[in-house]
Structures are given as structure tokens and as C-alpha cells.
Amino acid sequence: MAHVENPFGQVMVALITPFTNDGEVDWPAVERHVDAVTSAGADGIVVTGTTGETSTLTDAEKLRLVEVAKSVAGNRAKVITGGGSNETAHAIELYKASEKAGADGIMIVTPYYNKPTQAGILTHFRMISDSTDLPVILYDIPGRTGVPIAYETILRLAKHPNVVAIKDAKGDFSQASRVLNQTDLLYFSGDDANVLPHLAIGASGLIGVTANIAAAPYRQIVDAVNVGDLASATAVHKKLEPLVRAIMTHVPGTIAAKYVLHGLGRINSPRVRLPLVGPEEWEASQIEDDLALVGDLPGLDLSNFRPDRNAAAGGALPKIAGTTR
């Protein structure tokens, strides 16, 4: 895969949102974490996405996350705002405000819970894309939204001048190949286990959860694929596999990523917001067993990992009154 010029970057981190023990956003930890992942090679930061616990963030928190990430990343990485809403009008309001806050792009998730038809999905994406001058990433994650973006809908959306990319968390490689063959969309892997396979068929990069912990190895994989060195990319992929399993298979990725980052001393608290809760004892054991299998990776020293299951237990409510709107 030749290097693909795009407005987002290639190694994009689906950023966690660090919280204090009582559930408030830990803003100094946000700044440190953005600096850490960009210093490790990430050239794109996706805030307020699934991994960032967008469903339990207030609008004010979402906009400040854009501002803080932009101020820390500077020219080192693009800042993309994710999440949105399953209400089209609210999503338009959020993305307009995010553009004013300094976002470099927006990632629009398929409307969740209300299970729209493909016509509804098409209209939702089109209306949001009409409302912004920013480049748009479509976010296809049917395991969470309940509905996929059909191939025919993707083809129609690809004709919109602001729709330039798609994040694939569906894992349908046949559809991915068809979209790559029949559109000019940039393709981003949204499934950590499939990053290298997606790159091998022409994807432009990744938006990864595990990259919160190991951005440098993903930088190595992408750089190797860019110069056609599949053997080197595969070697790093194999070393990463147990870490990806630790983060992505036992509990939701946000929970595992925070558990590991806290154990490495990179965030002050592993807490997540209710209804998410930290790993139970047996889940924490599975995460730790997989971590023990991780090979030597650049920028990652797991010998410093000190898990704290007591700190991770349970979930937290933010000290914020009112609704999340």
C-alpha cells in the first residue's frame, strides 16, 4: 500500500476519556494521555467515540475534549470528534459546535437503538454532512448500533463531497473490498484484530482501542505496509496479538484499556462511568494472563504493570446535574 494522503492520519487512537475516582473527567490526565499517544506515533486522535464513553459524556465535556486534544496535539495529530447522536438534529448541533471548537474532522456513527431503515441512515448521514465543512468518516459498527450500513448505502454516501472515509468495525472483508474497488473512500480498520488484514487489502489506516496502550507498534505496522514490507508488519502483528486479545475480548475495550493504562501508571484511575463497571476478578485474571504473553514491543514495558483490582471495581457517576444533552 502506497502512502495515502488523507485529512485524518493513518494511526488514529480511539481515545479513552480518563476519569477521577468519583467519575469526573480528569483533564490533566487527558492532556498527558493525548501527549503520550501522539509522541508514540499517532497522527490522529478520535475523541468522544465509543472508547471515549461518548454515551455518558455531556455535550460540554465533548466539546472541551476537542479543545483540549487540539491544544495538546497541535500540528502533530489531527483531532476528530466521534459519537454524535441517534437524533439527527442533536447530532448536527454537536458537530457544528465541534467544528467551532477546532475539530479537524467528524466521525458519524450509525444511529443506534431506534434501528432506522437504510433510507433513514442515508438521510441522517447526508443531513449531517450537509451541515459541516469538515471531512466526514462514516462509522459502521452494527454490533453496537443494531444496524449495518448496507453496501448500496455506502456507495450512495460516497458521492457526497464531504464524505471521504469509513471506519469498519463490521469485519466484512468482501464488502470492504467492494467499497475499496468502487469508491474513493479512505478505509479505516475499526477492529483491532483485523488491522493488518485491512491494510493488506488497501485500507488507509486504523482507529484503534489498543493504540491507547501501544501506538508505537501500530505506527511500525502502518509504516512497514506503506513501503511494502509485509513480513515486518506481520512480525509486529503477531507480537501485538495477545495485547489485542487482552483489551478486546474479555470486557468492553474501554474497561480493559483503562485497567491496563492504570496498571502501567499512565492514568490516575481506571474508573469508567456507569452502567460500565470495572472487570470482575476472573475477567481481570484473563486480561493479566494475556498480557503475560505479549512479546517485546516498542514503547511498551509491561514489566512495570501493577494491576489494582480494587481501584477498578465498580463504576462511577459523574458529579454533574441534569441530562447529558
Catalytic residues: 139, 167
Phi, psi of 138 (to 5 degrees): -80, 140
Among 16, 23, 15, CA closest to 277: 23
Q: What's the Cα-to-Cα distance from 323 to each of 58, 77, 86, 189, rounded to whole Å?
A: 8, 32, 16, 33
Q: What is the distance between the alpha carbons of residues 141 and 8, in angstroms, rounded to a whole number?
A: 19
Q: What is the distance between the alpha carbons of residues 48 and 15, in angstroms, rounded to a whole number?
A: 8
| DSSP H helix total and E strand total for the chain | 13, 8
Q: CB under 8 Å to 76, separation ≥6 — which residues?
A: 38, 39, 43
Cell representation of residue 134: 469538515
Cell representation of residue 140: 459502521
